[in-house]
Structure 1
Amino acid sequence: MSKNKDVVVLTGAGLIGVAISRRVGAGKHLVVADLSMENAERVAKDLYNAGFETTAATVDISSRKSIQALIKEAQSFGEITGVINGAGVSPSQAPIEAVLKVDLYGTAVLLEEFGQVIAEGGSAVTISSQSGHRLGSLSEEESELLATTPTEELLNLEMVQAKNVKDTLHAYQLSKRCNVLRVMSEATKWGKRGARINSISPGIIITPLANDELNGPRGEGYRRMIDGSPVGRAGTADEVANVAELLMSDRGSFISGSDFLMDAGVTASYWYGDLSPKMFK
């Protein structure tokens, strides 16, 4: 295993992150990190058998120390030139507190820590969600607080206290809106290092989790979103990877601090079309 190569770090070894890794990881050292070492090792082995140079690692993105340990391990192979963040929990997987701790706070810490070590010319994508675009309008003050509040104070914000968060979906929407705003804020800092960062907000992408949702108690709502979208189907991880590859490559060198909503038009239909809540009153 060679040292001093360009290093790409994947956090959250799900199908979307793996698809992106395949697009941007050739000729580099891929560090595949997941909360489950078993999952990280399985994905790293699959990528290794497909010709990629890989290392498996564990990371809990809700822990700053865990992220710092991952960065240290990744740096042992060379300069970190790419970061793919696909880690997180869904509103069906965890209680409100865990959603906020992982998806809101954890993502903010990850962007902050990697922003201090990313190499010149480096780039990153973090996977947000269409849900953040259906939160509704925040005030200018609320948006600025989510974007710029010191990371260790984020969970103390009034808007994310239990009394102000209706349910796990609301917590998830707040977290994903925060992701997009933190990317904008971090982009100004990453730029001083000659690096870029963007987010992608996918809609319903077919993964094992999405299939569980489609066949579970929330399945009817999922199918209604798919059928009521302008495109009329769910997406694939490879389609998300198409966008990520552009953003992380030299062809995307003019793009930073941006969010790319790719949800088959579900959000458009939610606000202005057949999926509007007004249609179900």
Structure 2
Amino acid sequence: MSGRPDVLVVTGSGGMGTAVARRIGGGRAIVLADASPRTLDLAAGTLRAEGHQVITQIVDVSDAASVRELATLAAATGRLTAAVHTAGVSAVTSTAEQILKVDLLGTALFIDAFEEVVEEGSAVVCVASMAGHMVRLTSDQEQALANTPTGELLSLAVVREVPPDSSIGAYILAKRANQLRVEAAALAYNRAGARITSISPGVIATPMGRAEQEGATGEHMMATLKACGIGRRGTPGELAEAVAFLTGPGAAYLTGTDLLLDGGQAAWMRRHAEGAR
């Protein structure tokens, strides 16, 4: 044995990130990252009290240097077994500009930075959203979002065309871009002996999810949950369980794809909602 500890990286120390760290962090050094010192300290304290080894890092995921520092820290800490990117902002509480910087650019920066430090057996998961399955783009637009160099992403026409006051439009586009960047990155990750996937949750019962439920689209969101038959929000534990599968040995042949975890909402919208074709 090399003596190097196994390392789990989690960006975003809110409900999803803490649930993921708790579920798959046992026996690993957890590198927990967030932009908010207060949120980060609270989550780290909770996990440490439960017996986890936690290293914290303040990270601005929209800043390339900050994300590279996180990847460097992870590589220096031990053997990178898994990295889970849950950091993001809400369409209810953020501007379109913030969403494009954090959710779109930030995820692309994370994928790039961790491509440099993954090793044989590493598994990376990026949290996207069910919303990414709802957008309709041309094949050229999708190709551009998938393969344009990260530094040029925000200059793409499809990105610049998002209205400044459309936080929902920015969110939907960003989450589709997350799925596409993962697809495009799979080749490089495969060549490094690693895997990368995305997971697209629907309505999850986290503080961010509650804010969305109480926002302008909340009534429609809850009506959709009822109409699709599931009748409830998902839990952070259910998301963490799916991430445990995606980062575990049972998913060794799974890469470059997205797991839709939405209780059947997207399926209902596509096949049963009024106007569905």
TM-score normalised by length of structure 1? 0.93
Q: CA deviation at 1:13?
A: 0.8
Please say which of residues 70-79 and 265-274 is displaced more in the overlay: 70-79
Q: CA deviation at 1:230?
A: 2.8
Please say which of residues 40-49 and 54-63 is displaced more in the overlay: 40-49
TM-score normalised by length of structure 2? 0.94
Q: Secondary structure at the match of 2:77?
A: coil
Does residue 65 (structure 1) correspond to residue 62 (structure 2)? The answer is: no
Check the 8 A contact 1:135/1:170 in 2, yes or no.
Answer: no
Does residue 177 (structure 1) correspond to residue 176 (structure 2)? The answer is: yes
Q: Which residue of 1 aligns with 2:74?
A: 74
Q: Which residue of 1 aligns with 2:50?
A: 50
**In the aligned structure 2, how far is the partner of 1:267 from the partner of 1:94?**
24
Check the 8 A contact 1:11/1:32 in 2, yes or no.
Answer: yes
Check the 8 A contact 1:37/1:58 in 2, yes or no.
Answer: yes
Q: Could you tell me which runs of 5 or more consecutive residues in structure 1 were left unpaired when the two chains were aligned.
A: none
Q: Which residue of 2 aligns with 1:108?
A: 108
**In the aligned structure 1, how far is the partner of 2:15 from the partner of 2:235?**
9
Q: CA deviation at 1:163?
A: 5.7
1:83-137 Cα shifts (integer Å, max 9, x gaps) = 010001111121111111111111001111101101211001111001011112x
Check the 8 A contact 2:92/2:211 in 1, yes or no.
Answer: no
**In the aligned structure 2, how far is the partner of 1:163 from the partner of 1:9?**
32
**In the aligned structure 1, how far is the partner of 2:23 from the partner of 2:173?**
30
Q: Could you tell me which runs of 5 or more consecutive residues in structure 2 were left unpaired when the two chains were aligned.
A: none
Check the 8 A contact 1:158/1:164 in 2, yes or no.
Answer: no
Q: Which residue of 2 aligns with 1:123?
A: 123
1:26-52 Cα shifts (integer Å, max 9, x gaps) = 111001100012211211121111111
Q: CA deviation at 1:268?
A: 1.4
Check the 8 A contact 2:201/2:262 in 1, yes or no.
Answer: yes
**In the aligned structure 1, how far is the partner of 2:110 from the partner of 2:153?**
14
Q: Which residue of 1 aligns with 2:232?
A: 233
Check the 8 A contact 1:159/1:165 in 2, yes or no.
Answer: no
Q: CA deviation at 1:80?
A: 2.1
Q: Which residue of 2 aligns with 1:5?
A: 5
**How do 1:13-52 residues align onto structure 2 when only pairs under 5 Å count?**
13-52=13-52
* Corresponding residue pairs, total: 274
